Amino acid sequence: MQCLITGSAGFIGFHVARRLLRDGHQVVGIDGMTPYYDVALKERRHAELAKFAGFRAYRVMLEDAEALQRVAGRQAFDLVIHLAAQAGVRYSVENPGAYIAANIVGSFNLLEWCRQTPPRHLLIASTSSVYGANLDFPFAETDRADHPLTLYAASKKSVEAIAHSYSHLWHLPTTVFRFFTAYGPWGRPDMALFKFVQRILAGDPIDIYNHGNMERDFTYIDDLVEAIVRLCDRVPAVDRPASASGGDSLSPAAPYRIVNIGGGNPVALLSFIAEIETALGRQARRNMMDMQPGDVRKTEASTELLDALIGFRPSTPVGVGVREFVRWYRDYYRV
């Protein structure tokens, strides 16, 4: 297949691109290489992808519609996987404008391009953060998600709504993923696992919010990629009946579906930290802190729809995933 991946130098984009390349597909990668975190890490990811003959990379900001048109042109892609975004829940409190530009304007430009050159299937990354103040667990795709707690979540929910309108108006088959706390090798430096490992190895204390009274539905990167690859073949269509016993989120008005990608097994934050300590062979110095604005105490994915659609749900134990990250971190940073 011919695949276009935005955010190909990002954590998830890199892993998805590498999997598709290994499977023999052609991948065009677009990434703005923004300095939100270490650009050298992004460049290393692209360098790994460049080892595949089927990979081409372009440095483009999606906010620049003309540049996107120049790069993507009129080429028809089988798959467009939109993973580029300004990430980070906490950073959105400090720099909200970046989320409007990257997440909303950038996504709009990509949708406009897809309208002119429709792929067989458009797949868009969203986040469990859109569930916001929802306290009904597990979070199901058919639950209301009208109370986002951060601009990051609001921007991603906005993209979902805009994508639905494009799907309806232009008959654009679209699947939106809601990711639940992805982690693993090549992860971002702003993620909790990365920061915990970095600080523990340096002998510095780690900040633990809400005094450790937190739970997250951690999703190992290999499981997340497997789910994405399988969903590529599950192209939504309005003339198909709902096919999932868990309550299909297929739109009644568009070839559009929302799917959680999470394992449905929340892990206590303190248990997660204990796994890191075991993998490192060191104890963390703990700085207990109050809850941060916009944060939530717990996330938990309903996996019924995902399982019904592709016969798979993330299941890698946190201990295994943490060990793999620590192995990569020590090798990459030579520590």
Catalytic residue annotation: 152
Output phi, psi for 331, to 5 deg. Answer: -70, -45
C-alpha 282/C-alpha 335 separation (Å) is 14
What whole-number distance in Å separates Cα of residue 17 and Cα of residue 27?
7
Residues 183, 223: contact at Cβ < 8 Å? no
The rounded distance, in Å, linking the Cα atoms of 107 and 127 is: 15
> Pick from 131, 127, 285, 295: which is nearest to 213 by CA?
295
Please state at what angle helix 192-202 crosses helix 269-280, rounded to 10 degrees: 50
Are 299 and 216 in contact, with CB atoms under 8 Å apart?
Answer: yes
Q: Which two tokens stand for residue 85?
A: 């975004």
